[in-house]
Structure 1
Amino acid sequence: MTEPLAPSSTYRLQLRPGFTFADAAEVVDYLARLGVGALYASPILDAAPGSTHGYDVVDPTRARPELGGEEGRLALSEKVSAAGLGFVLDIVPNHMSVAVPETDPWWWDVLKNGQESRYAKYFDIDWAAGPVLVPILGDEGEPVVDGDVVTYYDHRLPVSDHYRLVHWRVANEELNYRRFFDITTLAAVRVEDPEVFDATHDEVLRWVAAGQVTGLRVDHPDGLADPGGYFRRLKERSGVWIVAEKILGVGEPLPTSWPVEGTTGYDALREVCGVFVDPRAEERFTALAAELGQDTDFEAVEHTCRTLVTDSILRAEVRRIGALVRDAEPAAAEAAVAGVMVNFPVYRSYLPEGEASWATAVSRVKGAEVLDEQVRAEPHGELATRIQQTSGMVVAKGTEDTAFYRYTRFVALNEVGGAPDRFGVPVEEFHTLAAQRDSALPESMTTLSTHDTKRSEDVRARLAVLSELPDEFADLARGWTARHGIDEPSLNMLAWQTIVGAWPIGPDRLRDYLDKAAKESKVRTTWVDHDEEFEKAVAAWPEQVLGDPVTRGEIESFVERIRLAGWSNALGQKLLQLTAPGVPDVYQGTELWDLSLVDPDNRRPVDYAVRRELLDRIENWWLPEVDDSGAAKLLVVQRALRLRKAQPELFHGYRPLPAEGVAAEHVVAYNRSPDLAVVATRLPVGLAAAGGWRDTVLPLPPGEWTDVITGQLATPRLADVLGRYPVALLVREGS
């Protein structure tokens, strides 16, 4: 049997100037004690000055000096290796930061020397359209030449006639280089060229060859010209465990031509979280959303939002692609290109193997026949390639970053990789998909929280409780809206769910979140075109609501009522994620309760001193109460991770383990092997209302079973197995 490439689990750390290589090294011993298989680091190549995330790489040839440079990286690597952990690194092959040209030597050289630059082909620039457009000018001020440098406020560029300064507003309409989504300061890189691949990957691959990096997470492969070819080259050059940040539609398979172990886990996130949602509440949430003024037709909302993206945010990209369509009027060609991308059933088709998705999109667009013919004739040509590269941006910006902020019927479902129109995941579907993952992609990553999730796993767990109390929540939401409604229905519905899900939340965090949500939804205001009065009203709203003793009291009382059920869901979904097929990732800090919202809220510092103290007690067989400390979650995480690492043979295979009795619908359970059983409570409010487990049993295979979490012997009676905690991790004696 060959040694698996995958770690037993990963723990994601967000490195930044405030949390450097040295800081990461300080928590390595804690991660080892927790049972983590590999430290999983955010990008660590040199990035834009002050970057808090590292995805804006400026120099791929060196470790980031602001994190401690090569010396700090080596020290961290040695600490990780000595602790017996792997090191998984997040890499960014699609783009580089050009926000501060003087920090990116390649971009500076391109601006200075134009097509004569040795780096001209490194970036995806449409040189036929003229000099590179640099959209930094505002309504005031003039560029000033100072020696061999042009300055404009904080911007510095080389003196040259190879670029043209333009107003920042023209970027979405006229930009002549490909970028990451609509971010003009992130210029796309052509890694399909072997020379560019080598230049951007040699340093990381040097670390791999030295055994200092044991796995790679690849950011945004949908933006690459040839993802399959890229992954084949990367696998050949590295030979390590590789996962792709690929968002799959419901039922969409990962392309078989990619030699990767799987995705970064958003597919598993939808399945795990969905099984704790009661689908019987769908009609009542739909009725509430409609009553409060929302459009409840998700397909229509999504189509509108994607069209908004092609018509405005990504207009320059649509024009560039449209110009490649032969024998067609420019307007008709652009309309066909935009229409096909808007109507994709998935993020991207990978021609020719994704032909079915392409055909579906084309069939929905009138006048797309010429486009279809030319793409099919040259599935690897420039026209086909650029449509595929851009369709993922249209879907991501239109669906995730717009529709998910407009269609706020039940926001526990509005997660990256989620399906807001599918109200939960039936237990049978969860089992089917878990078994498929075990069979096809057993080393794919699974996750519940990431740096990109809209809200943390524990916020979603509490919101799932609302699906068991739809009428009560609806009554409260109506009353709160009557007193303090936001004059924009989707934001209003989002705001009340956010307060309940993230409570206790202060006015500052809530204000920042709602400001971002309002701009992302693009209903009343946007990041570019501001409705100042509306933004002022939204900014004042948190203080008004939280300062109203009646409303605040009702919120506190309701949250207190659902808190235990939310914790039950949180422990249940965490245990499923940690034990189901795949390689589980724990996002930094989420081993305790974490009620973070979208970035930058989810990048706040983690208090590892508190976690160490609690872990000290847990290692001495302290069994904490399920309370505000979150120690019960740390207990579940530690027990599951340590078992996975110590006895990986227990985690092969997958078989549903249905309960028997009156409360059978309230448990989700399975065997990972004949000697390991996982048990979790679902729909805890309904369970309590019906009188608890009563005579419900779990038909365990013969033998003596012990709950690894509590250390106690287990019986088939769920009232006994789940007497202390709403979850159990059972191992058969002799294993």
Structure 2
Amino acid sequence: MNGGVSGGVSGGVPASTYRLQLRSGFGLDDAAEVVDYLERLGVDAVYTSPLLAAAPGSTHGYDVVDTGRTCDGLGGDAARRALVKRLRGAGMRLVVDIVPNHMSVAVPAANPWWWDVLRLGAGSPFAHYFDIDWDRGPLLVPVLGDDGDGGAAALAELRLDGDRLAYYDHRFPLAPGTAPADGSTSPDAVRAAHERQHYRLVSWRRGNTELNYRRFFDITTLAAVRVEDPEVFAAAHTEILRWVEAGEVDGLRVDHPDGLTDPGGYTRMLRAAAPGQWIVVEKILGPGEELPATWPVHGTTGYDALRDIGAVFVDPAGRDPLTALARRHGVPTDPEREEYEARLLAATTVLCAEVRRIARLVPPAVQSDRAERAVAVLLACFPVYRSYLADGRAAPLTEALRTARIRHPDLADAFDQLAALLRADPLGELAERIQQTSGMVMAKGVEDTAFYRLNAFVALNEVGGDPARFGLDDPAEFHRTSAAREAAAPATMTALSTHDTKRSEDVRARLAVLTELADEAAGAIGRWSRRTGLPEPSLDLLAWQTLLGAWPIDADRLRGYLLKAAKEAKLATSWIEPDTAFEEEVAAWPERVLGDAELVGEIEVLVERITPPGWSNALGQKLLQLAGPGVPDVYQGTELWDHSLVDPDNRRPVDYALRRELLDRLDAGLVPELDATGAAKLHLVRHVLRLRRERPGLFTGYLPLPADGPAARHAVAFARGREPGVVAVATRLPVGLAASGGWRGTVLPLPPGGWTDVLTGRPAAPPGPGVPRPPVALLAELLDRYPVALLVRDGA
């Protein structure tokens, strides 16, 4: 892929980014107020959630309603310009999240394009802006209540509100000339007016099966936008490109490109419109997968790096005991099978409308029901999110067809016809829709279903994760992937926590310790479950691991997380078919556990056991990310310990006053202890970020540095810089290291020169008498204060 120079990519690559989640209560003015702190921390670029006008009450910004203005709820354009001015004054950059795939239609009047489409139908000048199948009749709007009658009773609740059709708090436009001629507001007159519209209000249940507009995944209030059309592209990017032209934006983070008809074509259009920007795409890469080389972008948003770095700190020896516990519980332990079944479930339920739309493109030689089933199976068999036929990337589709035939030989004729149609027109509508829908099936089936079921060890179940890959036997594998990242995508983003991660980096770091204490952990969880378990086995294992990873956690946070997890798993309850009794039992569980003093005591004993080595893992993975290849992103607040879970838990307010105070003390000379304050993590983050910003030449290239001695497998280290000039050293599997007697004379040979650990201020390899020799660091001495070291060559 393009490593920062080819494909039209030019300069402007940030040294690092810091993600800010803007919302009501923390808008653009608030972001401006923390710029001085972030500059002192060493951050090079502030990276914000979307800034365009969002749906009323939006908490995240991904529900854009107007692409022509800054969100008033964040402070409006004046506040945006003030933030830019503050950043420029601090010598910092701005990276903005953009959302080309979809817009919010939850409040139709807030979205001028959608409002006009509802009012004028296919005759609206904006009708082609959205991916609507007008051949299927009026636009279906799934908002009506449904108590099993298909929404029939809800139709009686419709009324007229001036020139609008009203259903409770919802308002919809009336097409010209369709209001009752006599001004009647009787139920019959209102019903007749409704029938004359270009849309039909229908039961919310029909959204997953009969919808005739493409959505963002299964969210009916987010309608897909056809940015592949140059006119639509221009309209959707008017304000963003105005900021770019004015020099007010330095980078763009593209949300969900896999949902687009032609992601590669989109990236080329964006690059042509914003030639000097640093551009990264939120693309989930499977193990071994790379971005198409034809995309003129700098890389991804970093889930691939998250997976690779996390694996370093997971002990493969923990697989068997934790898997055995899951099997005793009756929890799935076969990732391949569970992920396929979850993908097929997604394709045949929540994404059924999209599958049916694809099946209608298949000629009638295959019965419609068989065509629909074949499409669903094919989508469920993709090995990665999608293929990119327009960019010469056909292998995932070929693999999906092969796997589909093996799994369902009874549908062989339907697969043969699909293959023939795709060969005949690889860039046609059938191919486009199969490709963009496979990503939806993967996300809803794997990320949002299977990853809430495969709970033998939950830290593996991360966005872009691979539950089948249980840690690393040899750090050499990590070095290979890191060297490949430096060679192919040196300006890609790397991440450990994001607004979408299912649990924060520090939760995963602490949970990784369980793989080193797998027998003990499995025994404890099994004992606790027998005492006070949840009735659904998979959720039960998830709950106990969540308690250990996020401890201390209050009942409200735990309750909210478990209820969301239970609905996502779709085993005992779901968003569509809730089981009230089961959910009440789940809701009562946190108080039951936290109110059991003896049980809490046992939990705290194990938490105390895994917390210090969890700190070691947390510092280790942070150092590997911050000092390693790519542009590291720090998610808001994670410069201190952060034990957040999935959103909205990970979007809670950040205590910047506390962080300022600690940073002041560190800058005044404090060398912090490794303790619960998290000051040691802040100490590490500030040193690496400042070095990256002030001395970028130190962070080029990649040279693995293998340790030598009986505990060599517990060290992972690399050098960077042309001579080189910086070395990162981290400890892995700290419990096993301690149990085996520590470093026991293990040494780390260093590149030539004198080296100083900037975390402690001490020389790393003091020179000895006699003839100069290549420096060698005793790891027992180098890592006696912290489990990590950041070495800088003297004079570099």
Shift of 1:356: 1.4
Q: Report whether the alignment pairs 1:23 with 2:71.
A: no
Q: Report what 2:774 is aligned to.
A: none
CA distance in 1, matches of 2:615, 2:332: 32
CA distance in 2, matches of 1:171, 1:499: 36
1:33 to 40, 47, 55: 40
Q: Report whether the alignment pairs 1:589 with 2:637.
A: yes
Q: Report what 1:708 is aligned to.
A: 758
Q: After superposition, give the CA deviation of every residue in 1:180-230 in whole Å (9 maximum; x if it has no partner).
A: 000000000000000000001011011011111000000000000111110
CA distance in 2, matches of 1:508, 1:261: 41
Q: Report what 1:334 is aligned to.
A: 372
Q: After superposition, give the CA deviation of every residue in 1:264-283 in whole Å (9 maximum; x if it has no partner).
A: 00000001111000011111
After superposition, where does 1:578-657 map in structure 2 within 5 Å?
578-657=626-705
Q: Report what 2:394 is aligned to.
A: 355
Q: Report whether the alignment pairs 1:468 with 2:506.
A: no
Shift of 1:723: 1.1
Shift of 1:299: 1.2
CA distance in 1, matches of 2:745, 2:646: 42
Q: After superposition, give the CA deviation of every residue in 1:633-653 in whole Å (9 maximum; x if it has no partner).
A: 000000000001111111111
Opposite residue 33 of structure 1, the aligned amino acid is R
Instruction: Give the secondary-structure state (helix, strand or coil) at the position aligned to 2:404.
Output: coil
Shift of 1:159: 1.7
Shift of 1:702: 2.5
Q: Report what 1:495 is aligned to.
A: 543
Q: Report whether the alignment pairs 1:58 with 2:65.
A: yes
Instruction: Give the secondary-structure state (helix, strand or coil) at the position aligned to 1:246.
Output: coil
Q: Report what 1:730 is aligned to.
A: 791
Q: Report what 2:331 is aligned to.
A: 294
Instruction: Give the secondary-structure state (helix, strand or coil) at the position aligned to 1:5.
Output: coil
Q: After superposition, give the CA deviation of every residue in 1:608-638 in whole Å (9 maximum; x if it has no partner).
A: 0000000011112211101111010000000
Shift of 1:519: 0.1
Q: Report what 2:456 is aligned to.
A: 409
Q: Report what 1:228 is aligned to.
A: 264
Q: Report what 2:292 is aligned to.
A: 255
CA distance in 2, matches of 1:231, 1:451: 23
Instruction: Give the secondary-structure state (helix, strand or coil) at the position aligned to 1:364.
Output: helix
Greater Cα shift, 671-680 or 39-48 = 671-680
Shift of 1:711: 1.6
Q: Report what 1:556 is aligned to.
A: 604
Q: After superposition, give the CA deviation of every residue in 1:53-104 in whole Å (9 maximum; x if it has no partner).
A: 0000000100001111111111111111111111000000000000000100
- Give the TM-score normalised by structure 1: 0.99
Q: After superposition, give the CA deviation of every residue in 1:351-383 in whole Å (9 maximum; x if it has no partner).
A: 152211111100122321110111122111000
Q: Report whether the alignment pairs 1:143 with 2:180.
A: no
CA distance in 1, matches of 2:75, 2:162: 33
Q: After superposition, give the CA deviation of every residue in 1:569-605 in whole Å (9 maximum; x if it has no partner).
A: 0000000000110000000000000000000000000
Q: In 2, are the aligned partners of 1:35 and 1:642 still within 8 Å (CA)?
A: yes
Shift of 1:693: 1.3
CA distance in 1, matches of 2:421, 2:476: 43
Q: After superposition, give the CA deviation of every residue in 1:108-143 in whole Å (9 maximum; x if it has no partner).
A: 000000011110000000000001001111145411
Shift of 1:694: 2.2
Q: Report what 1:243 is aligned to.
A: 280
Higher Rg of the two aligned structures: 2
After superposition, where does 1:203-214 map in structure 2 within 5 Å?
203-214=239-250
Q: Report what 1:371 is aligned to.
A: 418
2:14 to 7, 24, 27: 7
2:221 to 172, 177, 185: 185
CA distance in 1, matches of 2:480, 2:537: 37
Matched length: 735
Q: In 2, are the aligned partners of 1:56 and 1:96 still within 8 Å (CA)?
A: yes
Shift of 1:514: 0.2
After superposition, where does 1:87-236 map in structure 2 within 5 Å?
87-139=94-146, 141=154, 142-160=157-175, 161-236=197-272
What is the RMSD of the two structures over their aligned residues, measured on CA atoms? 1.0
Shift of 1:146: 2.0
Instruction: Give the secondary-structure state (helix, strand or coil) at the position aligned to 1:554.
Output: helix
Q: After superposition, give the CA deviation of every residue in 1:377-416 in whole Å (9 maximum; x if it has no partner).
A: 2111000001111000000000010000001010111100
Q: Report what 1:428 is aligned to.
A: 476
CA distance in 2, matches of 1:220, 1:295: 29
Opposite residue 270 of structure 1, the aligned amino acid is R
CA distance in 2, matches of 1:646, 1:694: 37
Q: In 2, are the aligned partners of 1:32 and 1:85 still within 8 Å (CA)?
A: yes
Shift of 1:535: 0.3
Q: In 2, are the aligned partners of 1:578 and 1:641 still within 8 Å (CA)?
A: yes
Q: Which runs of 5+ in 1 are unaligned?
A: none
Shift of 1:714: 0.7
Q: Report what 1:443 is aligned to.
A: 491
2:445 to 358, 374, 398: 398
Instruction: Give the secondary-structure state (helix, strand or coil) at the position aligned to 1:525.
Output: coil
CA distance in 2, matches of 1:663, 1:620: 36
CA distance in 1, matches of 2:791, 2:447: 38
Q: Report what 1:459 is aligned to.
A: 507
CA distance in 2, matches of 1:303, 1:270: 21
CA distance in 2, matches of 1:714, 1:572: 18
Identity of aligned residues (%): 64
Greater Cα shift, 328-337 or 184-193 = 328-337
Shift of 1:328: 2.5
Shift of 1:284: 1.2
Q: After superposition, give the CA deviation of every residue in 1:321-340 in whole Å (9 maximum; x if it has no partner).
A: 00001232211211221111
Q: In 2, are the aligned partners of 1:91 and 1:217 still within 8 Å (CA)?
A: yes
CA distance in 2, matches of 1:583, 1:563: 29
CA distance in 2, matches of 1:433, 1:248: 13
Q: In 2, are the aligned partners of 1:145 and 1:159 still within 8 Å (CA)?
A: no
Q: In 2, are the aligned partners of 1:413 and 1:424 still within 8 Å (CA)?
A: no
2:53 to 46, 54, 78: 46
After superposition, where does 1:501-540 map in structure 2 within 5 Å?
501-540=549-588
Instruction: Give the secondary-structure state (helix, strand or coil) at the position aligned to 1:698.
Output: strand
Opposite residue 147 of structure 1, the aligned amino acid is G
Q: After superposition, give the CA deviation of every residue in 1:145-199 in whole Å (9 maximum; x if it has no partner).
A: 1221011111000123100010111110100000000000000000000000000
Opposite residue 662 of structure 1, the aligned amino acid is P
Instruction: Give the secondary-structure state (helix, strand or coil) at the position aligned to 2:50.
Output: coil
CA distance in 1, matches of 2:75, 2:378: 46
CA distance in 2, matches of 1:122, 1:4: 33
CA distance in 2, matches of 1:581, 1:300: 34
CA distance in 2, matches of 1:720, 1:705: 14
Q: Report what 1:718 is aligned to.
A: 779
CA distance in 2, matches of 1:376, 1:503: 54
Q: In 2, are the aligned partners of 1:663 and 1:696 still within 8 Å (CA)?
A: yes
Shift of 1:720: 1.2
Q: In 2, are the aligned partners of 1:275 and 1:430 still within 8 Å (CA)?
A: yes
CA distance in 2, matches of 1:14, 1:255: 30
Q: Report what 2:150 is aligned to.
A: none
Instruction: Give the secondary-structure state (helix, strand or coil) at the position aligned to 1:195.
Output: helix
Q: In 2, are the aligned partners of 1:243 and 1:445 still within 8 Å (CA)?
A: yes
